[in-house]
Amino acid sequence: MIEFLQHKEDITAREIIAVQQPAYIKEAELIGFDGIPALQEKAKDIQASHEQFAGYRKDGKLIGVISYEKNMHHLKICRLVVHPDGFRKGIGRALLRFVIDQNEDAEKIEAVTAENNTPAVSLYTQAGFQKAETVKAAEGLLLSVFQLCPKRKVKVVLYNEKWAELFDEEKERLKLVFGPEISAVHHIGSTSIPNMAAKPVIDILIEVKSIEAVNQYDSKMKAIGYTPKGENGIAGRRYFQKGGNKRTHHVHIYEKGNQAIERHLLFRDYLRAHPKIAEEYAILKKRLAIQHPDSINQYIQGKDDWIKTAEEHAKRWKEGRNNADGSVVCYNSENDENGGLTL
């Protein structure tokens, strides 16, 4: 059984030392280097650690330990040790998988091990990690740095009425960040369309007075969980995403008057006004999500033709409305591939 460990407690810290000491002694023998820093650790060092610990217990006895640190969506594995009594029983693999599964938002996971620690190198390689570099840590000790960049899962879910509330809540946070720079804030993308199945990501479009002024707010956006992505492939835009691989929000910022604002809003309004067409789109998205659960690019490509056709219909719909009553509505076009929009 794997569980998170309360390593601040003395008895748990001692259990961890009882696992890692013999494990590191075996590793020192294997790699021919007895200067492994963790060999000098005491229970008090474990208790003082800021790492997150998890352990594998068998019949109540702790026989495997993994710990990690996390900064935003980057995770670093600090230790992965198995008591010699648990060697070659899949415990290390299970602990590694536990950490990966518990951190679905992680965009990069890093692990470091001695280059000639064959069992550890094999473990990370089989788990999908790629060797990034070799570092000389000390005389006679080379370390291999492994990285795993998990793919973002494609998941389309049924419409959730709370999406509108989540937009309203985030809108207020964003208004506190950008203040008087904001001219307007819009809920766009599939979560803004009633009864539309969608990836559960809130897309937000902000109109600002000056797009160049947005750059100075990157640190404030980071403080509320966003990753600044700059233009992210679209000139005249600033793009932010929140939640790492377990995405929760996208923010698209344009200067007031940018044509992209009109494009973004018309497609939303068109689907809101045509529930049957919106349902057709939802069915397509659900099918593509099932076909390509691990490939966001293939999911996007599968929607491309449908979106282009719908965009043309939206334009004609706009023209018809303007001709009929003189009113002006707005228009949206972009998908995830060219802008991160969750349609």
Q: Are 144 and 166 in a shared domain? A: no
DSSP 181-238: GEEEEEEESGGGSTT--B-S-EEEEEEES-SGGGGGGHHHHHHTTEEE-TTTT-TTEE
Asked if residue 43 belongs to a domain, the reply is yes
Which of the listed residues 148, 179, 206 is the one where a domain comes to its end?
148
Q: Are residues 29 and 144 in the same domain?
A: yes
Same domain, residue pair 166 and 303: yes
Domain check: are 131 and 167 in the same one? no
Q: Is residue 235 assigned to a domain? A: yes
116 lies in the same domain as 202: no
Q: What is the CB neighbour count within 10 angstroms for residue 51?
A: 15
Structure tokens at 223: 């403080």
Residue 154 CA to chain centroid, in angstroms? 12
In a domain? residue 230:
yes
- Residues 6 or more apart whose Cβ sits within 8 Å of residue 118: 30
Do 184 and 320 share a structural domain? yes
Among the candidates 89, 113, 148, a domain finishes at: 148
- Total domains present in the chain: 2
Query: How is residue 328 written in tokens?
Result: 């002006």
**Which is nearest to 239 in space by CA: 226, 252, 249?**
252
Q: Is residue 339 one of the residues assigned to a domain?
A: no
What CATH number does residue 239 fall under? 3.30.460.10
Residue 334, in any domain of the structure: no
Q: What pLDDT, on the 0 to 100 scale, is given for residue 323?
A: 65
Q: What pLDDT is attached to residue 11?
A: 97
Q: What does the pLDDT profile of the chain (343 residues) look like in tens digits?
A: 999 999 999 999 999 999 999 999 999 999 999 999 999 999 999 999 999 999 999 999 999 999 999 999 999 999 999 999 999 999 999 999 999 999 999 999 999 999 999 999 999 999 999 999 999 988 889 999 999 999 888 999 999 999 999 999 999 999 999 999 999 999 999 999 999 999 999 999 999 999 999 999 999 999 999 999 999 999 999 999 999 999 999 999 999 999 999 989 999 999 999 999 999 999 999 999 999 998 988 998 999 999 889 989 999 998 887 665 544 444 333 333 333 444 4
214 found inside a domain: yes
Q: Looking at the structure, do residues 9 and 87 belong to the same domain, yes or no? A: yes
- On whether both 140 and 271 belong to a single domain, the answer is no
- Cβ atoms of 106 and 150 closer than 8 Å: yes
Q: Which of 286, 244, 283, 267 is nearest to 341 (CA)?
A: 267
Rounded to 5 degrees, what are φ and ψ at 154? -95, 115
Q: Are 156 and 285 in contact (CB under 8 A)?
A: yes
Do 181 and 175 contact (CB within 8 A), yes or no? no
- Domain around 134: 2-148
Tokens representing residue 91 in the block: 């415990």
H-only helix segments in the chain: 10-31, 43-48, 91-102, 118-126, 162-178, 218-223, 259-273, 275-291, 296-325
Tokens of 41: 């650790």
Residues 92 and 138 in one domain: yes
State the DSSP string of 133-153.
EEEEEETTEEEEEEEE-PPPP
Burial class from Cβ neighbours inside 10 Å (0-12, 13-18, 19+) for residue 274 reads middle
35 and 133 together in one domain: yes
Task: Tell me, yes or no, whether 186 and 122 share the same domain.
Answer: no
Cα separations in angstroms, 265 against 188, 198, 202, 307: 7, 17, 15, 14
| Domain CATH code at residue 108 | 3.40.630.30
| All residues at 6 or more sequence positions from 270 whose CB lies less than 8 Å from its CB, including other chains | 277, 310, 313, 314, 317, 318, 331
The pair of structure tokens assigned to 12 is: 């748990």
pTM for this entry: 0.77
On the CB side of 169, CA atoms within 13 Å amount to 9
User: Would 343 be classed as within a structural domain?
Assistant: no
Q: Whose structure tokens read 């094999």? A: 122
Residue 337 lies in a domain: no
Identify whether residues 50 and 195 lie together within a single domain: no
CA distance 169 to 88: 50
CA 156 to chain CA centroid, nearest Å: 16
